[in-house]
Amino acid sequence: MRRRRLLFSALLLLPVIACSVPDGSAVVTPTLPTTSGFPYVAEVMEHRCGTLDCHGTVARNLRVYGDEGLRFAASDRPCVPAATTDTEVGQDYDSVVGLEPEEMSAVVAGHGANPDQLSMIAKPLGIESHMGGTVFSVGDDTYTCLTSWLSSATDTAACLRAMPSMICGVAPTSAFDAGVLDAAPD
């Protein structure tokens, strides 16, 4: 008898729950990760994630622009010009921070703790299902590059080690040496 009453109460509650709507005035103010050092992160992501058959396509979440793959300017094409533009770095930043803003805020607010709660870390680690399979491992240079950025202390040396020696026929370090990519995205 008591169970029936409980069930009846639950059934009465269901429409109330189903008809509730989110608070329209609620505003999420994300805690964004630093833009400092992000050009290094972007260059690594372009190489590891942004090939034209993976995230270098407009049809996929976490769209990644860059010199090797998808270009932002209509007049550009892969490897022409042979350097990622500031605009592309800015677009990559927006892609990354806009993917899961609440989770990203939590990780950044926690100074980079528990980065694998982000899909951008969990998927390439193989913790979550990923069409591109396992891309990097805990502790390797790519992992260190990305997670150090999330903790606001980008390990640029790890990022450089995670890049190939040549990208589009040019040493990636030359872009940073020349200051081409040092500007933080707007």
Partner 1 sequence: MRRAARATVLGAVLIATGCDPVVSNEINALGGEAPGVRRGPLHRPGQPCLLCHDGALGDPPAFSVAGTVFNDPVDLGGADGVIVSLTDNNGIPYMATTNTAGNFYVTPDQWSPAFPLKVIIIGANTERIMQSEIGRDGACASCHVNPAGPSSPGVVCLTTVDGGTPP
Residues 6+ apart with CB under 8 A from 47: 66, 68, 162, 163, 164, 167
Q: Which stretch binds partner 1 (CB under 8 A): 6-14, 21-29, 54-62, 105-113?
A: 54-62
Q: Which of 8, 61, 114, 132 binds partner 1 (CB under 8 A)?
A: 132
Choice between 39 and 56, CB closer to partner 1: 56
Q: Which of residues 30-49 bind partner 1 (CB under 8 A)?
A: 47, 49
Q: CB 147 → partner 1: shortest distance, Å?
A: 22
Choice between 19 and 58, CB closer to partner 1: 58
Could you say whether residue 57 binds partner 1 (CB under 8 A)?
Answer: yes
Q: Which stretch binds partner 1 (CB under 8 A): 11-19, 28-36, 129-137, 151-159?
A: 129-137
Choice between 32 and 122, CB closer to partner 1: 122
Q: How far apart are CA 44 and CA 135, in angstroms?
A: 12
Distances (CA, A) of 81 to 68, 90, 137, 182: 10, 17, 31, 17
Distances (CA, A) of 53 to 24, 84, 100, 133, 173: 38, 18, 23, 13, 25
Could you say whether residue 70 binds partner 1 (CB under 8 A)?
Answer: yes
Residues 6+ apart with CB under 8 A from 8: none
Q: How far apart are CA 149 and CA 164, in angstroms?
A: 19
Could you say whether residue 168 binds partner 1 (CB under 8 A)?
Answer: yes
- First-to-last C-alpha distance (Å) of the chain: 64
Q: Which stretch binds partner 1 (CB under 8 A): 33-41, 67-75, 106-114, 174-182?
A: 67-75
Q: How far apart are CA 185 and CA 41, in angstroms?
A: 12
Q: Which residues bind partner 1 (CB under 8 A)?
A: 47, 49, 51-54, 56-58, 68-74, 76-80, 131-133, 167-169
